[in-house]
Amino acid sequence: MKYIVANLKSNNDLNTMLKYNDELHHFPNLPINLIVCPSYPFLSISTPDNYYLGAQNISRYEAGSYTGEVNGQQLKSLGVSYVIIGHSERRKLFLEDEEAIVQKMNNAFSNDIKVILCVGEDILDYQTQNTSKILEQQIATVLNEFNRDQIKNVIIAYEPIWSIGTGITPSIDNLKSNIEFIKKIINDYYELELPVIYGGSINQNNINYIKSISCLDGFIIGESAINIQEFKYLLDTYLS
């Protein structure tokens, strides 16, 4: 099964999201799993009958005195099925490390929420050819804390940090090699086959050549998903 994830980040207002949600319902039944992740305030207005509702973040804590936090029980009560964890922006801007990622995943799993786990190398690791080492470390350090039944509920999102928001896309050979490596790590360590999707400056100019990678199981789309018409164009192109 293929996956398309729309990560709307901290964008759009209420009126825009009401229109966005309405447009989503005009999409035909898609032969993929479509996951839409709006900002927290708009989770409650989403009505995911032809897509899955995802959250962009989750607290590392359960219910309690944690001002500003949103826990897994709350997300589940809003109909959230997936949550993005480990995104490079969370790692960089909010200093989230592997310990925090594990705690957040525990919160998700305990509330029957599936995890979109983001991994990827920065520009220095890319230039020094340390990508494989970083990917293996990011994956194993986190997934080793969970059992196979829990790991089955994970989608791996490969997002090279140096590509996100830059307009620079890795070559086909580079992407194919890294996606195959991630799948090999998952199989070698856990004897599982998990979906691996790609994120990083996906747009109308590059989606056709990226979708040609046979081992790729879909995309996580950021900036190009903010406008519903542009996002619809990408979906149509991917499925054509």
**DSSP class of 201:** S
Only one residue has tokens 């903010």, namely 226
| Distance, CA of 238 to CA of 207 (rounded, Å) | 7
Distance (Å) of CA 201 to CA 53, 131, 211, 232: 22, 18, 14, 16
Q: Among the options 26, 87, 89, 136, which is catalytic? A: 87
Sequence-ordered list of residues with C-beta below 8 angstroms from that of 34, at least 6 positions apart, any chain: 3, 4, 6, 27, 50, 51, 52, 235
**DSSP class of 13:** -
Q: Among the options 89, 96, 121, 159, which is catalytic? A: 159
Active site residue 159: yes
| Distance, CA of 30 to CA of 218 (rounded, Å) | 13
Residues belonging to the active site: 87, 159
